Amino acid sequence: MAASPPIYDLMLLLDPTAEDEIRAKIVADARTAIDASGELVGDQPWGVRPLAYPIDHRNAAEYHLLQFTGPPSLIASLEHTLRITDGVVRHRVIKLPPGSTPVAKTDAPVRAAAEGAAPEGDPEPLSA
C-alpha cells in the first residue's frame, strides 16, 4: 500500500489595510504556486479576525487557510515569496499528522468579518 503524500497547512495573515486587489493577488499567487508543483486540497478564507497580540502595530489580520500537498521545494519557494511580499503580516506552513482530514474548499468566509469570532469548533481566544 502506497503512503499518501503529506498534507500541509499554509496559514496566511494579511494586512487588512492593504487594498483588496493586493490581498486577493497574494492569495491567488499562493494558489498558483501550489498548483504549479503540488495540489491544493483545501481552501478557506476566514475573514478579518483580531490578533492575539499586536504585530507591527496591527490588532487584526485577514486570515486564509490553504491546505496542499507538494514537494519540499514548493514549501521553500512559498516561504521565500511570502517573507518578502508586502501585505503579508505573518505566514506559517505546518505539516499535518498522517490521516488528517483536509478542510473543504470554499470562497466564502467561515464567519462574517464583523463578528470576529473563531470558526465552529475552534476554541475562543484566551483573555489576558
Q: Is 82 exposed, middle or buried, given 0-12, 13-18 or 19+ CB atoms closer than 10 A?
A: buried
Does residue 80 lie in a domain region? Answer: yes
Q: What is the CATH number of the domain that holds 30?
A: 3.30.70.60
pTM: 0.77
Does residue 112 lie in a domain region? Answer: no
Q: How many domains does the structure of the chain reveal?
A: 1
What angle in degrees, to the nearest 10, is found between the helix axes of 72-84 and 20-37? 160
Does residue 59 lie in a domain region? Answer: yes
* Cα distances (Å, whole numbers) of residue 30 to 13, 34, 77, 98: 13, 6, 10, 23
Does residue 63 lie in a domain region? Answer: yes
Residues 4-23 pLDDT 10s: 889 999 999 999 999 999 99
Domain span holding position 39: 11-95
Does residue 25 lie in a domain region? Answer: yes
Contact 4, 56 (CB under 8 A): no
Does residue 126 lie in a domain region? Answer: no
Does residue 108 lie in a domain region? Answer: no
Residues 47-79 pLDDT 10s: 999 999 999 999 999 999 999 999 999 999 999
